[in-house]
Structure 1
Amino acid sequence: MKTHDDDVPAVGSALIVGGGIGGLATAVALRRAGVAVTLVEKADEFGEVGAGLQLGPNATRILFGWGLESAIREVAVFPENLIARDALTNEELTRIPLDDAFVGRYGAPYCVIHRTDLHSLLLAEARRLGADLHVATEIVSVDTSAGTARTADGRTYSGDVVIGADGLRSSLRDRLVGDVPVNSGYVAYRGTIAVEDTGPISDDVVVWMAPHGHLVQYPLRRGELLNNVLVFRSDAFARGEEEYGGADELEERFGDCHPVVRRALDFVGKQRRWPLYDRVPTDDWSQGRVVLMGDAAHPMLQYLAQGCCQALEDASALGTIVGHDVAATDVGALFTAERAPRTAEVQSTARAFGDLCHREGDQARARNALLLARGRDDFSTIDWLYAPQSIPATA
């Protein structure tokens, strides 16, 4: 094992806490870098809850680079356009063609994929690469200086680094940062429906912008399903009510929208709502041998469709950093320096884009005029998000 001047070893092993998409992607990246990986997941089995994910070229570049292009193309849909519409009138406001010019500019395509499909293929790849995976294993304490973690029943796991990939309500973040998730006051309703029950659909990702709400639709699983996400601000939450964001509010919020939007109310499940949270950006992601990644480090609102994409960027950066044989105790600082400015910008811009989507009255009309004036070949507002980022600094 390589060591450094202070006798701290380079990273030969890693313990990953959390078996979601971010944790499994990190397992893949670290195994590709030659690091022995143990991953622990508190649930009784590996799995994901939810439906569709949008993967921008900043994410597909990484996945394709890991040799997963064929597996993704078997299950994903590659839409033709990103389109914004006014939810009251159905007027098209702008579109971004996801054509050869887009792929050439960013080095990879835009795709949409079922969350469980992406999770399954990352799980299979982590297993193929030899990651040691454990379920029903909840970590209750971590020694940040030693890189050890203990479960409730007394088992101990260790690694040269410990990576917290345990999501929005990360127990590891509680120990390092001590903040709490921020409730946006918005809730989401999600659902998929077989295309045979909807009639013809387009091969586009479409967002309908409504006053204090929006609808997103796109096809999934080779175009066999239509994915629907309805998001809206809860007035009951704003009034301080304990029960908020119910189906009655959902119906009321979109009641004045165009019929194509109102029809989507029948395509989402009413039995469950998802309150939308993020956290205030921070760069306090590491302590000793422990470092946070993904939603544990930088949970963000969904308005840029970048939560999963940024977790994949994190995983790739961690793989690059440990591949440079840096000291285990330096990984957190190097990773944070590389990733925190980027993710803070995405977090903050996601909030701002949500505000833009959800305008009403004169502000909505001003938004529409701005979007209508955009040229289809104008990429100035998305280059920062999709263009290749710099290689992590590992001096």
Structure 2
Amino acid sequence: MAPAGLQQVVVAGGGIGGLAAALACARQGVPVQLLERAAQLSEVGAGIQIGPNVTRILQAWGLGDALAQVAAFPKRLQARDARTGQVLGSLRLGERAQALYGAPYATIHRADLQAMLHTAVQAAGVDVRLSQTVQGWRETAEGLAVTTAQEVAAGAAQPRGEGAATVPPLMADALIGADGVWSAVRQQLLGDAPARFTGHLAYRALVAQADLPTHLRSDEVTVWMGPRLHVVHYPVRGGQWLNLIAIVHGEKPAQAEAWDSAGHTQSLMQAMGAVGADLHERLVAVPAWRQWALHDRAPMAGTHEMAQGRVALLGDAAHPMRPYLAQGAGMAIEDAQVLGLCLSAEAGSVAERLQAYAEQRWARNARVQARAMRNGRIFHATGPVAWGRNLSMRLMGERVMDVPWLYGSPSPVHSPA
């Protein structure tokens, strides 16, 4: 039975955040329709890290076995100096993460995570509609009339005049904008400036481990830190593939909003400058790179950036963040869990339930955004700051590399009064 006041929730966006939101709501008995602009669900060819705070939720959703089939579970995270190759510190993952946080630390291909969520969403009975681009909404006496680009185009193509058929609007009791960094839902809700270019460019690649020399293969997460750069690589797809991401400082590209442009090894190496032999060998072993420009927003300032009335934002639409804490997808999945629990509450109006969601999520998201920005400055540090970073990691290791406040058990979710 649907929670009181909820006959239809529309989720805009079929990425990881949108699918997670749809699944979390459906699991709580909330009727969901998911609209995705693409003709088929697909993700960029890149890996992501998901910490215990995220794998804990996936397991609670009954996805533990599916995760085990497609992810890798590194036993260690190692930090190294990009110039000298020196090991700066390490953080045990594997059994330690499971013992401390009650869930594993995993690395996974984005497409595998999306496919896993899509399968679960379909099994939960969510109405997934592809080739549907949400443009906005309008308030009516019956609820929200959600506007799609396809509806607008169909209306324009209809013959005009008396007796002409009209395209009925899509009605919803709540609209969840999970439509990414360039969110149309956010634009109407907040009317703020577009996400800002960070000055950082990310190069990514996937390489079959079998195609690499034995000494370049890895079953760990390794982070290389250097002046105005860092590189991270880790296994995905059960360890069969190695995911590499190199981030450098650079000019804003002409197609700044593109997620999947060709990158070139020569351009990457020029931007990085001199690196140690170990790292250099890994980078030049990559046959092809893809590139994208990193965008973010300032840390969230309040609940108004996550929900107003019957409309809420989730994931990158609400809080795009830099990748230096590996929590972009993680925060979207956390958002989704809280959203589902809040919307399923019997008390309060739909607007009050979404306000409860925003109240319980905005400050944590802001903290993660700020910490990710701080980590970026540390990873890319030069001079005395880099020296201090290296010294502290050598002396304190796990104490400065672990993030208990992030990975530990979350606060309980509170329903609206």
State the Cα distance separating 1:375 from its structure 2 match.
4.3
- Answer with 269-278 or 101-110: which moved more: 269-278
Secondary structure at 2:41 match in 1: coil
State the Cα distance separating 1:381 from its structure 2 match.
5.0
- State which of 206, 209, 212 in structure 1 corresponds to 2:225: 209
Question: How many Å separate the matches in 1 of 2:306 and 2:146?
Answer: 17
- The answer for the alignment partner of 2:105 in structure 1 is 110
Rate the CA distance shift 1:363–1:98 in 2: closer, same or farther, 3 A.
same
State the Cα distance separating 1:243 from its structure 2 match.
8.8
- The answer for the alignment partner of 2:411 in structure 1 is 390
State the Cα distance separating 1:85 from its structure 2 match.
0.6
Contact residue 342 and residue 354 of structure 2 kept, 8 A = no
Secondary structure at 2:364 match in 1: helix
Question: How many Å separate the matches in 2 of 1:271 and 1:204?
Answer: 21
Question: How many Å separate the matches in 2 of 1:101 and 1:175?
Answer: 45
How many percent of aligned residue pairs carry the same amino acid?
37
TM-score computed with the length of structure 1 as normaliser: 0.92
**How big is the alpha-carbon RMSD for the aligned residues of Structure 1 and Structure 2?**
2.1
State the Cα distance separating 1:268 from its structure 2 match.
4.7
1:324 is the counterpart of 2:345? yes
Contact residue 212 and residue 232 of structure 1 kept, 8 A = yes
Secondary structure at 2:246 match in 1: strand
Rate the CA distance shift 1:366–1:228 in 2: closer, same or farther, 3 A.
same
- State which of 147, 151, 157 in structure 2 corresponds to 1:150: 147
Secondary structure at 1:141 match in 2: strand
- The answer for the alignment partner of 1:227 in structure 2 is 243
Contact residue 195 and residue 296 of structure 2 kept, 8 A = yes
- The answer for the alignment partner of 1:48 in structure 2 is 43
Q: Which runs of 5+ in 1 are unaligned?
A: 4-8
The within-5 A match list for 1:242-253 is 248-253=266-271
- State which of 278, 297, 300 in structure 2 corresponds to 1:279: 297
- The answer for the alignment partner of 2:234 in structure 1 is 218
Secondary structure at 2:245 match in 1: strand
Question: How many Å separate the matches in 2 of 1:250 and 1:195?
Answer: 22
- The answer for the alignment partner of 2:163 in structure 1 is none
Question: How many Å separate the matches in 2 of 1:195 and 1:150?
Answer: 46
State the Cα distance separating 1:102 from its structure 2 match.
2.2
The one-letter amino acid of 1:371's match is M
Contact residue 165 and residue 294 of structure 1 kept, 8 A = yes
The one-letter amino acid of 2:342's match is I
- State which of 389, 392, 414 in structure 2 corresponds to 1:367: 389
The one-letter amino acid of 2:86's match is E
The within-5 A match list for 1:308-323 is 308-323=329-344
Deviations 1:14-70 (Å, cap 9, x if unpaired)? 100000011011111111000111000011111111310100000000000011011
- Answer with 15-24 or 191-200: which moved more: 191-200
Aligned residues: 385
Q: Which runs of 5+ in 2 are unaligned?
A: 152-166, 257-262
1:197 is the counterpart of 2:248? no
TM-score computed with the length of structure 2 as normaliser: 0.87
The one-letter amino acid of 2:183's match is S
Secondary structure at 2:29 match in 1: coil
Secondary structure at 1:113 match in 2: strand
Question: How many Å separate the matches in 1 of 2:13 and 2:370?
Answer: 25
Contact residue 191 and residue 267 of structure 1 kept, 8 A = no
- The answer for the alignment partner of 1:19 in structure 2 is 14
Contact residue 176 and residue 285 of structure 1 kept, 8 A = no
Rate the CA distance shift 1:379–1:213 in 2: closer, same or farther, 3 A.
closer
Question: How many Å separate the matches in 1 of 2:210 and 2:288?
Answer: 21
